[in-house]
Chain A
Amino acid sequence: MKPDELFHYYANMSDNRVLVSFKGPISKDILVEMGGFVRRQLASNQEVKRIFSVFVEMTQNVLRHSDEKDPTNGNNGIGVVVLVEKEHEYAISSGNLVQKSRCKKLTEQCDMVNALDQDGLKKAYKEQRKADWDDLNGGAGLGLIDICRKSGNPLAYQVIPFNEEKDFLVLTAKVSRGKI
């Protein structure tokens, strides 16, 4: 990265109030570090617990389900996670590569989850929690429902085609800022 590009990167992050940004293999240590930072930075915020919870679920989704793995540790998925402070909300985004067939399934799950109100989400959460999980799926459904419940807003997604086999899936959860 050239110096002026690096400055633009810095300025862009500052202007957009990016509190956390990470690109790379997500390990347990990285999760602990970022999670701790989120808690400390937002300690006085009444939404801190919900933001932390959504952040952890989304980061662990990348860790577990990204189709790009750390070559030095195949357990750790590679992706990006970003937490942005906005006027009316905190936006938590994740992006990672995922097989096209699985990506389609995930976006369908998002659509289903987004169609539910809070009562419907509670019901779906409880059903999914009681269901038998196959190891491959590892409960992504429950994670998406939980993110939607805790954030209190629909889970936005965007699919960017990457190559023949994989898409880049971006998920964005928004936690509304409390009115004081």
Chain B
Amino acid sequence: MMSDLIIEPDTLTPRVHLDAAAGKITIDGESYPDSAGIFYSPVFEWVQKFIAEEKRPLELHLKLTYFNTGTAKCVMDLLELLENYVRNGNRARAFWHYQEEDEDMQMSGEEFAEDVTLDFTFVSH
């Protein structure tokens, strides 16, 4: 069984919770690290390991309130990873959480949803 990975939030980075038992990836908060690739590399390693070893359904919960372009690239890569997982006969879903009045974040989520073939659910709070 894989272990969980929790990254506590910092000034430029969100809280990340990778829950192995639930097959749930949660990214919550603002994300604008100088080097998003470095920040998100343990997340990719975890997800790739889960995909290779667990084969169970995966849920990605994105609860971003602000993100920079480096993060946008990483989120896209993560979604494509799940898209491929589904293409290979597994199950994965994405959830985009946003504050009801935050039209910018709603639109950002829609622009991600348009670019992947994946079950994509919008959740307003």
Footprint of B on A, CB under 8 Å? Answer: 28, 31-32, 49, 52-53, 56-57, 60, 63-64, 75, 122, 126, 129-130, 133, 138-139, 142-143, 146
Nearest Cβ in chain A — how far from B70, in angstroms?
6
CB pairs A–B below 8 angstroms (29 shown):
A28-B11, A31-B12, A31-B34, A32-B12, A49-B66, A49-B104, A52-B66, A53-B66, A53-B68, A56-B68, A57-B68, A57-B69, A60-B32, A60-B68, A60-B70, A63-B34, A64-B34, A64-B35, A75-B34, A122-B111, A126-B114, A129-B69, A129-B72, A129-B73, A130-B115, A133-B73, A139-B73, A143-B69, A146-B72
| CB-based A-B contact count at 8 angstroms | 47
Q: For A146, list chain B residues within 8 Å (CB).
A: 69, 72
Q: Which of B4-44 contact A (CB under 8 A)?
A: 11-12, 32, 34-35
Q: A53-B68, A142-B73 are in contact. List 10 more A-B contacts (CB 8 A).
A: A28-B34, A49-B66, A49-B104, A60-B32, A64-B35, A126-B111, A129-B72, A138-B70, A139-B69, A139-B70
- Report the Cα distance A130→B12, complex, angstroms: 23
The answer to whether A126 and B73 touch (CB under 8 A), given A28-B11, A31-B12, A57-B68, is no
B51-87 at interface with A (beta carbon < 8 Å): 66, 68-70, 72-73, 76, 80
Q: Which 3 A-B pairs have the closest CB atoms?
A: A142-B69, A146-B69, A32-B11
> Do B76 and A129 have beta carbons less than 8 Å apart?
yes
A138 vs B115: C-alpha distance when bound (angstroms): 21
| Chain B positions near chain A (C-beta within 8 angstroms) | 11-12, 32, 34-35, 66, 68-70, 72-73, 76, 80, 104, 111, 114-115
Of all chain B residues, which has the CB nearest A127? B115
Q: How far, in whole Å, are A49 and B12 apart by their CA atoms in the complex?
A: 15
Residues of B within 8 A of A142 (CB): 69, 72-73
For B34, list chain A residues within 8 Å (CB). Answer: 28, 31, 60, 63-64, 75
Chain B residues contacting A130 (CB-CB under 8 Å) are 76, 80, 115
Cβ of B81 to closest chain A Cβ, rounded Å: 13
* A167 CA to B35 CA, complexed, in Å: 24
Q: How far is the CB of A59 from chain B (nearest CB, A)?
A: 10
